[in-house]
Structure formats: structure tokens, C-alpha cells
Amino acid sequence: MGRPTDPFRFSAINLTIQAFNPSSKCANHARRLTDHLRIRLPDNIMKTASIFLILCLLLVSAVPANAVILRGVVTEVRDGQSVVVLSGGRNFVVSLIGVDAPESDQDFGGASREHLAYLVLNKPVEIEFSQLDSDRVIGKVICSQRDIGLQVIRDGVAWHDKTTGRSLSDVERGVYAEAEQLARNELRGLWQDGTPMPPWEWRRAQAAKHAPQAAYKNGNGRALQTEDLAFPRVARPPGSTVDSRSSSTLPKPTAKPFNAPGQDADFRGYLGQGRVSIVYFYADWCPACRRLTPVMDEVNARVPDMQVVFMDIGEWNTPVAAQHGVNFVPYLKIYDKTGKLIADGRSARAWLEQAMAERK
């Protein structure tokens, strides 16, 4: 099998930096390498990355006293966090400790698997683990003196999983968490669109499709029924008198959010009205949303033939997120002047960028 093509071609973790001072000889060498790779990082990020990479080197060189070492070759990559390792004529299914990658059917699931294959497929590896469960292992995978679990987090193709990472040391967990934060800050991989739904929430959402009555709780603690997600049963925001059947022209919506956070609300009465409608799904805890919300405010206030409906998802897997298929935030739905849906998700963002560029 040939070497897979890497969808994420560079990674700062590959740079060997051995000094904290960003002006030192080693850090300058790292800067020249990043320039060669056309990465442009601010000085403060370079300094943070330098410190982070030193810790990475220390983690790779430090093996816990109770760890067992398994050596073999990766013969298969099943998804973005698990591989098959052939060792001594026996196959072991190895899951990366402290890592949760997108599911195969989830956005970036294929890219995550391809990136892991680029890093380890057909290569010799060492597996550090403390417990063997039949032919399945959860452990740290070392390839070419790199912690692969840490690598995929840093490259922005996986999350730091705090549940499987409990056997990691406090320092290791801190470095994994820092790796994820750096990937977020640099908009690497799956973070390029903002804040995607993490795989554990995605799995909950998939399970909820088969058991909708037990999936959510409403404000009174009662399990939500399927009909609770239908528009006629949704309580409207305080002071709202919108009737979706009304044919009169409505002013632009000004409520922010239009819905009660996490709950759905019927915005259909605002569609059409001779204006392009942008339904903007966001969350207060989402950094990308905090950057985009002022832009949406400006569009709603200053573009006469566009309006914005602000929908706060609250958390993942809330009724509003489930009803509208929101799997990352910020998430947009665009309706034309007749009320027809013309774009949503990533295509909606591209549509909006093009529309605003044409107005300049």
C-alpha cells in the first residue's frame, strides 16, 4: 500500500525546539521552518508553541514505571483514533489514549482517519499501556519519537478526551489540553469552521434519533416528546405575537435571541417579506460566534434587504439544535426573498461571503 496523502500537511509539533526563548538559535530555526511551510504565527503563539513542544519532547522520552511496551507495525487504520498493530504474529486493536476523533459518518471523520494513516500506516510503533484487555489496548502510540495521540490533537483532527485520559499524568493531560487549545486558536483542521459538535455529543444525537422521548428534558424536567419539537407546541419568546400565517409585512426581528436559549421558536412568519433571511444559530460559549455576532448585528441593522434571526442553541443536543441539524456553530441558514431555503451550513457561509463581497 502506498503512502497516504496527508490532508493536513504541516504541524508545528514536528519542529524540534529545545529552548524557551523565542529569539534563541533553536526557536529561530523553528521560525525558518514555519516560514518555509508558509505558516504565519504571531510571536506570542510561537513562544507558546515553543514551550509546548519542549513539554512534548519530555513526555515522549518519559515512560511511566508501570507501563508495558508493545512493539509492532500498524497494518490498518480504522478511524481517527484506532489502529491495528501486528506484533509477534498477533493483531492488537489499539485506541489512542486521551483522544476522541470524529466518527466515520461525522464531519471530518474521513479526514481524521486519513491523517492518522499518514502518520502511522505501515510504520513501526511502540504502544505504552498499563492494562491489556484481550486483543484490545488503550494506550499511547509512539511513532518516529512522536506521541501520535498528542499529534492528532495538535493538528486539529481530534479532541482531547478527558475520560480515556485518566491514566495519563497531570502534566500529560495538561499538554493534551493545551494542544487542543492551540489547534483552536490557529483554526487548524476541524476548527476552521468555528466550534464543531464533539463526537460524544454527536453519538448522543444519533442515539436520540432512535429514542427521542428519552433524549432531552424540558424546563419542567419532563422527558421531551417528539411533538415538543414541532413548531405549534413551542412556547414563543416573551412578548412575541408573530403568526406564521399572517400575510402582513413584518419589521425585521430585533429580539436577541429570538428563541429561549436551547428551545426552538417559529421564525417562519419572518421569512419572505421581501428580504433575504439569515437564521443564525450560535452559542455564547463559542469563540467564533463571539466574533461573528457583531457582524450579524451590523447586517441586521444596516442592510435593508437582509434580516437576521438570532437563535441561541444553549448547549449541544438541545431541541433547537436537533430540529435544525446544527452540528457546528456558528451555523447559518439562508432563505431568499420568497422564503425558500437556498443554503445552509458551510454553503451558507460561502453564499453570505460572496453576497457581501458583491455589495462592496
Count of the separate structural domains present in the chain: 2
* Residue 90 placed within a domain: yes
Which pLDDT value is given to residue 237? 45
The whole-number pLDDT of residue 55 equals 52
- What is the average pLDDT score of the chain? 79
pLDDT of residue 76: 98
Q: What proportion of the chain, given as a percentage, has pLDDT over 70?
A: 71
Give the pLDDT score at 10.
Answer: 38
Percent residues over pLDDT 90 in the chain? 58
Residues 47, 149 within the same domain: yes
- 212: domain CATH number is 3.40.30.10
pTM score > 0.75 for this model?
no
pLDDT above 80: residue 145? yes
* Per-residue pLDDT at 150 exceeds 60: yes
Is 62 a domain residue?
yes
205 and 349 both lie in a single domain: yes
Question: How large is the average pLDDT for residues 336-358?
Answer: 91
Same domain assignment for residues 180 and 212: no
Question: Could you tell me if residue 6 is inside a domain?
Answer: no
263 and 184 both lie in a single domain? no
Does residue 152 have a pLDDT over 70?
Answer: yes
Range of the domain at 280: 199-234+249-359
d(CA 49, CA 175): 11
Same domain, 158 and 229: no
Say if residue 348's pLDDT is above 50. yes
How much is the pLDDT for 96? 96
Q: Is residue 224 part of a domain?
A: yes
Same domain, yes or no, for 132 and 262? no
Q: Which pLDDT value is given to residue 228? A: 39
Q: Are residues 204 and 141 in the same domain?
A: no
When mean pLDDT is compared across 176-190, 213-227, 291-305, the lowest value belongs to 213-227
Task: Based on the fold, state whether residues 169 and 215 are members of the same structural domain.
Answer: no
**CATH code at 165?**
2.40.50.90
- pLDDT digit string (tens) for 157-168? 999 998 887 788
Domain end, chosen from 126, 160, 193, is at: 193
> Which whole number is the average pLDDT over 101-108?
94
Q: Flag whether 4 is in a domain.
A: no
189 and 215 belong to one structural domain:
no
Q: Answer yes or no: is 171 within a domain.
A: yes
- Give the model's pLDDT for residue 165: 74
pLDDT at 139: 93
Are 321 and 181 within one domain? no
Least confident range of 11-25, 247-261, 322-336: 11-25
In a shared domain, residues 173 and 24: yes
Residue 329 lies in a domain: yes
**Is 215 part of any domain?**
yes
Mean pLDDT of 268-281: 94
Can you say how many angstroms the Cα of residue 4 is from the centroid of all Cα atoms in its chain? 23
Burial 263-300 (b: 16+ CB within 10 A, else e): bbbbbebbbbbebbbbbbbbbeebebbeebbeebeebb
Q: What is the pLDDT of residues 38-87, one digit of tens each?
A: 334 455 555 555 555 555 554 544 555 567 899 999 999 999 999 999 99
The better pLDDT of the pair 194, 123 is held by: 123
Cβ-proximal residues to 223 (8 Å cutoff; 6+ apart), any chain: 213, 214, 215, 216, 217
Whether the predicted pLDDT of 13 surpasses 60: no
SS (HEC) of the chain: CCCCCCCCCCCHHHCCCCCCCCCCHHHHHHHHHHHHCCCCCCHHHHHHHHHHHHHHHHHHHCCCCCCEEEEEEEEEECCCCEEEEEECCEEEEEEECCEECCCCCCCCHHHHHHHHHHHHCCCEEEEEECCEECCEEEEEEEECCEEHHHHHHHCCCCEECCCHHHHCCHHHHHHHHHHHHHHHHCCCHHHHHCEECCHHHHHHHHHHHHCHHHCCECCCCCECCHHHHCHHHCCCCCCCCCCCCCCCCCCCCCCCCCCCCCCCCCCHHHCCCCCEEEEEEECCCCHHHHHHHHHHHHHHHHCCCEEEEEEECCCCCCHHHHHHCCCEECEEEEECCCCCEEEECHHHHHHHHHHHHHHC
Do 322 and 265 share a structural domain? yes
Q: What is the pLDDT of residues 222-269, one digit of tens each?
A: 444 433 333 333 344 444 444 444 456 789 998 899 999 999 999 999
pLDDT at 282: 97
Confidence (pLDDT) at 122:
98
